[in-house]
Structure 1
């Protein structure tokens, strides 16, 4: 969560945007953070965030851009994992006016189900600001070292599709999906996640996330290689023990009737039971390749097998 908090803090201090971009961000934060409510026939605007910085940005923007007062209220609730603190931005008296100004009510004063048309059809700065606002409102980011994802929890399917279309305008492929009755827009490609973080204004967090992810992948690869090496060593050790047992039996069957080069190879196997074939080849006099030592041991075992079969046939003939 620490990195997610850092991303939202980095995004919430951006203050050099043009008014159109600020409006796009504010409208999207309200839409994805909560939206409009009807209380005693009056429209109330309320948006809730897990970041105090995000809530304070929206409160300041509502005052600066739209000229309305708002309240930031801290809300705590107990969950199975502990106390969760959220920050709610509420506009009571001027809720209806703000809803019209942000485009969250259309000209017929009906709630907009996706995102306002002026955002979807706006310039690239507005598109970036909309994604920034959606992330501040309900964005999630995977911890480095785990399966990569950047995800926005959306208030509905229309809002999710609007966000997917906005990502497409930025050259990024996002996917809308439904998870346990909630609509989500997800990025899973690490390069796309890094690019999106940069585009919405969090380059420092993007570098940190990418760096930690690379470190995690390197550690994972090292662990996999270590496990692979351990498995190879266990298989090699088992094969060496089995080969030694077969060589011992071959010596018993053949007795003295063994070619010198085959006897030498078999004896090396018995004298160095844990050694690899490559190591046995180096120990031979003169040294030979691992293929050569493996071939001699194989011929030794084949010869013993042939003699054993002949002895069995002779014994059956005598009986």
Structure 2
């Protein structure tokens, strides 16, 4: 089961303590997944479609408890792609259905709702704002597994609604943004801290802990990888420098002899020949008194410059003629 599905299953079990919160969440669910159907006698019915069984049960329970109208729930199976179940929660035409639209601040027009954005009266309190955000996520949201990239999004087909959702998140200091995706509008968060705060606001506390644990493990693994890469790079650098130093020392030995070098350089060359794998710091500790890393490096650079000058002279004069 995906991390999104686990999160939605948890949120589907969260029930607002106040009626205003339950109405706000139900309004968001209907706004995201609901549609109005009109029969030949101009009578309305309300259809809400979801692919999550727990979300369907929540919609059914909220509708029954809040309005007490006859409510149906049907299961259909997709014939394409993943072929998973689709759940239809339906309130057929009956007296009192207009009360749902009125309570949620909607007006039925055609096959949708004439109110494009969020009905402000439904989110007048912080608890209701959180409930609406939870309903919007249940209706059209997803969150990536934290072991991959950090991404939480809510998709809606209405730009005004997407903008209102963005403002709702920003009210809670969540830097949400909107981007188009084909015929949809995506409200999204990218940062791990932002996603954690959003999960907390919606009430997904278990998912939050799982997300946090995975994030900590991922950050620790990345830090270890960085340290290993850094150590490997430093080791390669040390080995390459030692190889180059040995080549220069052997060249000087073959051309002029180490006894022609100044004492400090001769000692550095001899220590390097005796300890080819040692670091500059380790070489410096062989002196009495010890020499610092920069001091050893300075001597090795002098040896390198001396070897380069000799090579240059040899190339300028060319091989001796018999």
C-alpha contact (below 8 Å) 1:43/1:92 kept by paired residues? yes
Matching residue of 1:295: 298
C-alpha contact (below 8 Å) 2:245/2:304 kept by paired residues? no
Which of 263, 278, 283 aligns to 2:266? It is: 263
Matching residue of 1:170: 172
* 1:113 matches 2:84: no
Query: What RMSD in Å do the two structures reach over aligned CA positions?
Result: 2.9
The answer to which of 280-289 and 259-268 deviates more is 280-289
Partner of 2:78, secondary structure, is: strand
Matching residue of 2:181: 179
Matching residue of 1:91: 91
Which of 251, 254, 257 aligns to 1:252? It is: 254
Alpha-carbon distance, 1:32 to partner: 0.7
C-alpha contact (below 8 Å) 2:179/2:186 kept by paired residues? yes
Alpha-carbon distance, 1:286 to partner: 5.0
Matching residue of 2:78: 77
**Per-residue CA distance 1:107-139 (angstroms, 9 max, x = gap):** 99962222224224x222211111010011111
Q: TM-score, normalised by structure 1?
A: 0.87
Structure 1 39/165 Cα, relative in aligned 2: closer, same or farther at 3 Å?
Answer: farther
Partner of 2:107, secondary structure, is: coil
Structure 1 110/260 Cα, relative in aligned 2: closer, same or farther at 3 Å?
Answer: closer
Matching residue of 1:125: 127
Alpha-carbon distance, 1:72 to partner: 2.1
Tell me, which stretches of 5 or more residues in structure 1 are unaligned?
Answer: none
Structure 1 241/111 Cα, relative in aligned 2: closer, same or farther at 3 Å?
Answer: same
Structure 1 310/106 Cα, relative in aligned 2: closer, same or farther at 3 Å?
Answer: closer
C-alpha contact (below 8 Å) 1:66/1:101 kept by paired residues? no
Spell out the pairing of 1:132-147 with structure 2 (5 A cutoff).
132-147=134-149
Alpha-carbon distance, 1:47 to partner: 1.9
**Per-residue CA distance 1:16-39 (angstroms, 9 max, x = gap):** 421111111111101112333445
Q: TM-score, normalised by structure 2?
A: 0.86
Which of 243, 246, 250 aligns to 2:245? It is: 243
Alpha-carbon distance, 1:93 to partner: 1.9
C-alpha contact (below 8 Å) 1:131/1:163 kept by paired residues? yes
Matching residue of 2:156: 154
Distance 2:317 2:219 in 1: 64
C-alpha contact (below 8 Å) 2:36/2:113 kept by paired residues? no
**Per-residue CA distance 1:61-113 (angstroms, 9 max, x = gap):** 11111122222222332555x43333221222246553344222179996222
C-alpha contact (below 8 Å) 2:151/2:190 kept by paired residues? yes
Structure 1 78/222 Cα, relative in aligned 2: closer, same or farther at 3 Å?
Answer: farther
Alpha-carbon distance, 1:260 to partner: 3.1
**Per-residue CA distance 1:268-291 (angstroms, 9 max, x = gap):** 223333322112222345532222
Structure 1 64/238 Cα, relative in aligned 2: closer, same or farther at 3 Å?
Answer: same
Partner of 2:216, secondary structure, is: helix
C-alpha contact (below 8 Å) 1:253/1:308 kept by paired residues? no
C-alpha contact (below 8 Å) 1:175/1:185 kept by paired residues? yes
Partner of 1:36, secondary structure, is: strand
Alpha-carbon distance, 1:50 to partner: 3.0
Alpha-carbon distance, 1:55 to partner: 0.9
C-alpha contact (below 8 Å) 2:26/2:62 kept by paired residues? yes
